[in-house]
């Protein structure tokens, strides 16, 4: 098949539209559209007096539509191709990003009577509101030894779809009633493009306790909450499609608005991190892809179903047919560095400006001059909770070893190291349960932004890290799904569109030895606060929520 595919990657802060040549994977154009409202955590845009509760992370659905309406025409213009040359569109989206819509697919937050209810807005993946609901689901599933829990590493995360549904049922019954569909935002975008609701097996499998063999655990839902039970037949209706299949075709109205041909095939959606695995071409067993951005997701494929505690999930055909796709992750990586950089003292801000460096780059420049262990610091990177292997959003970050000599760059380096230690815990966990990792890939926005970070990962993991040449691996994966919707075999699309590698980071033996010792200490602190004394962080967190 010749021609182009449009891949749209909906991230945490922005959406990116790619136009990609299907035979070569050459990126002809990229248009980035930042979300005007970003991540909403303080007040609602409709009324500045309505405070958003703590632990909420909301988004404005219009921001996603703006990515379509502005990003597609801009990317097409830059690519300088004819609309008829486009063979399909694919969508990837952060997940579980949860939206309630009515039968016309209008978000409930766009209806006047609900606009001031935070529950009516999009709940972003990192919305940690449904803590009690997640715990309730987990307690029941553990007490009954529910079969489905084996696919979720024996955990239930507040970030997932069903806890978010239950939170809406419990705290905003009117919003629940007003919704005709409760959808993953990726599936909503597909529905807006095609006029038809087709849910993807990927987020359904990873975030909503659904499997192809068993569907939803209907009886379990009914027993927990009758409304949740009814939801399966009502607000969770819609066709289910598999990643790699066509969800439908572009409606006339959308085609006219976007300047694309009517009837253009649109693929079933995929989660962003899962899409990145396709983008780097890690389409075999025993390869691990670290998708490093705001958060990090650790993705791998395997021919076998293996029960692995502490992971985010395993789904058959969740990324590629005939493979079980596995996901684990860390909830704050780039976000943690971004937060720390904002705390930099005025003298650092000034000096960075003088040297014409971003604060990230200035701190990296200072931190690179330090040896591993030199600062005597160890951090826990749980500033947005811990996704794997502890799966507890009540956990918080910590820093041990501070003295009067500690400098900001020491702390920055300790946080970079902490995320590498967190990744080592995840990889060691996979391996100890029989999922061997032979090759490690890194992609996402971070690897190309921070060389020190990637060298630390190579040293801590004591493995080579192959960094993808593109920081758009998710968008490329989405474009592959667009090509597949247009008629290309998905595996063929992966082989012809996968992106090359830019650089390999090799472990530095002198550093590896030092990091082995530091990791032993990290593991002790991790187990102490994660397993033995989680109540310390939980009680502190509780006080902040009660305020
Ligand atoms: N030089 C840098 N070093 C470390 N972190 C960075 C640097 N530049 C940006 N970041 C962080 O990277 C994240 C953005 O990553 P990116 O992959 O572009 O976004 P997303 O995860 O939304 O797709 C932000 O959280 C930001 O704080
Ligand atoms: O949980 C996810 C995938 O399963 C989220 O989509 C992801 O963690 C957010 O991604 P990003 O860091 O790229 O914004």
3-class SS string, 491-507 = HHHHHHHCCCEEEEECC
Tell me, what's the pLDDT at 546? 65
Nearest atom (ligand 1) to Cα of 9: 23
Q: Is the CB of 475 under 6 A from ligand 2?
A: no
Burial (CB count within 10 angstroms: exposed 0-12, middle 13-18, buried 19+), residue 207: buried
Residue 327 Cβ contacting ligand 1 at under 6 Å: no
Cα of 94 from ligand 2 centre, angstroms: 5
7 C-beta closer than 6 A to ligand 2: no
The set of residues, in sequence order, having a beta carbon less than 8 Å from that of 323 and lying 6+ positions away, is: 285, 301, 302, 303, 316, 317
Rounded Cα–Cα distance for residues 398 and 457 (Å): 20
Counting ligands in written order, which one lies closest to the CA of residue 454?
1
212 burial via Cβ count (<10 Å: 0-12, 13-18, 19+): middle
| CB of residue 94 inside a 6 A radius of ligand 2 | yes
Backbone angles phi, psi at 33, to 5 degrees: -120, 105
Ligand 1 binding pocket includes 360 (Cβ within 6 Å) = yes
64, 416, 445, 477: residue to mutate for ligand 1 pocket, most atoms within 8 A of CB? 445
Domains in the chain: boundaries: 1-40+54-101+182-195+241-547
13 lines ligand 1 (CB under 6 A): yes
Give the CA angle between residues 272, 276, 278 to the nearest 5°. Answer: 120
* Count of residues making up the chain: 547
The rounded average pLDDT for each run of 10 residues, N- to C-terminus, in the chain (547 residues) is 96 96 98 98 95 96 98 98 98 98 98 98 96 96 94 92 98 98 98 98 98 95 96 93 98 97 97 98 97 95 95 96 96 96 97 98 98 96 94 93 98 98 98 97 96 98 97 97 98 97 97 98 97 92 74
**Using CA atoms, how far apart are residues 169 and 71, in angstroms rounded to an integer?**
35
**What does the alpha-carbon distance between residue 133 and residue 385 come to, in Å, rounded to a whole number?**
16
3-state class percentages of the chain: helix first, strand second, coil last, to nearest 5:
45, 20, 35
Class of domain 1-40+54-101+182-195+241-547: alpha beta
- Tell me, using a 6 A CB cutoff, whether residue 445 lines ligand 2: no
- The token pair that represents 155 in the structure block: 């955990």
Considering Cα of 325, then 328, then 332, then 338, what sign does the dihedral take?
negative
What ligand has the least distance to the C-alpha of 364? 1
Query: Helices (DSSP H) in 45-199: which residue ranges?
Result: 61-66, 72-79, 131-143, 161-171, 173-178, 185-194
Residue whose CA is closest, atom 12 of ligand 1? Answer: 334
Structure tokens given for 386 = 């811990």
What's the DSSP call for residue 466?
A: E
For 19, 90, 341, 414, the CA distances from 246, given in Å and listed in that order, are 18, 9, 43, 46
Pocket flag, ligand 1, residue 95 (CB < 6 Å):
no
């Amino acid at each position: 098949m010749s021609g182009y595919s449009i891949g749209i990657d909906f991230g945490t802060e922005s959406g990116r539209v790619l136009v990609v040549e299907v035979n070569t994977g050459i990126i002809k154009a990229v248009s980035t559209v930042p979300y005007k409202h970003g991540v909403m955590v303080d007040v609602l845009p409709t009324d500045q007096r309505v405070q958003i509760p703590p632990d909420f992370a909301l988004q404005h659905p219009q921001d996603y539509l703006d990515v379509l309406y502005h990003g597609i025409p801009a990317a097409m213009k830059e690519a300088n191709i004819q609309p008829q040359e486009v063979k399909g569109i694919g969508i990837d989206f952060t997940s579980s990003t949860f939206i309630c819509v009515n039968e016309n697919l209008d978000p409930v937050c766009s209806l006047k009577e609900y606009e001031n209810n935070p529950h009516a807005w999009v709940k972003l993946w990192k919305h940690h509101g449904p803590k009690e609901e997640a715990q309730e689901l987990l307690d029941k599933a553990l007490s009954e030894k529910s079969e489905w829990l084996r696919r979720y590493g024996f955990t239930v995360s507040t970030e997932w779809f069903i806890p978010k549904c239950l939170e809406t049922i419990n705290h905003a019954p009117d919003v629940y009633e007003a919704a005709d569909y409760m959808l993953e935002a990726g599936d909503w975008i597909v529905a807006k493009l095609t006029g038809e609701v087709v849910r993807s097996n990927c987020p359904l499998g990873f975030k909503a306790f659904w499997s192809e063999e068993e569907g939803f655990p209907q009886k379990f839902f009914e027993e927990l909450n009758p409304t949740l039970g009814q939801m399966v037949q009502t607000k969770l209706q819609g066709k289910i499609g598999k990643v790699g299949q066509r969800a439908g075709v572009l409606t006339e109205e959308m085609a006219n608005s976007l300047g694309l041909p009517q009837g253009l095939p649109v693929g079933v959606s995929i989660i962003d991190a899962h899409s990145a695995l396709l983008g780097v071409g890690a389409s075999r067993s025993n390869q691990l892809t670290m998708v490093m951005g705001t958060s990090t997701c650790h993705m791998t494929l395997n021919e076998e179903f293996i029960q692995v505690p502490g992971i985010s999930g395993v789904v058959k055909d969740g990324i590629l047919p005939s493979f079980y796709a596995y996901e684990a992750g860390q909830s704050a990586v780039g976000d943690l560095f971004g937060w720390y950089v904002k705390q930099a003292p005025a003298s650092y801000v000034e000096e960075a400006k003088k040297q014409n460096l971003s604060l990230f780059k200035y701190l990296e420049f200072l931190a690179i001059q330090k040896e591993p262990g030199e600062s005597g610091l160890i951090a826990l990177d749980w500033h947005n909770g811990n996704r794997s292997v502890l799966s507890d959003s009540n956990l918080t970050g910590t820093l041990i070893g501070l003295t009067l000599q500690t400098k900001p760059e020491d702390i920055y380096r300790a946080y970079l190291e902490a995320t590498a230690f967190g990744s080592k815990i995840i990889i060691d966990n996979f391996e100890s349960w029989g999922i061997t990792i032979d090759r490690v890939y890194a992609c996402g926005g971070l690897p190309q932004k921070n060389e020190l970070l990637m060298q630390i990962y190579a040293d801590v993991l004591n493995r080579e890290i192959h960094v993808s040449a593109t920081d758009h691996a998710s968008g490329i994966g989405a474009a592959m799904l667009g090509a597949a919707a247009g008629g290309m075999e998905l595996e063929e699309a992966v082989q012809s569109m996968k992106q090359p590698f830019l650089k390999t980071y090799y472990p530095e033996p002198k550093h590896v030895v030092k990091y082995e010792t530091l990791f032993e200490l990290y593991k002790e602190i991790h187990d102490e606060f994660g397993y033995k004394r989680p109540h310390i962080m939980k009680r502190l967190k509780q006080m902040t929520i009660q305020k």
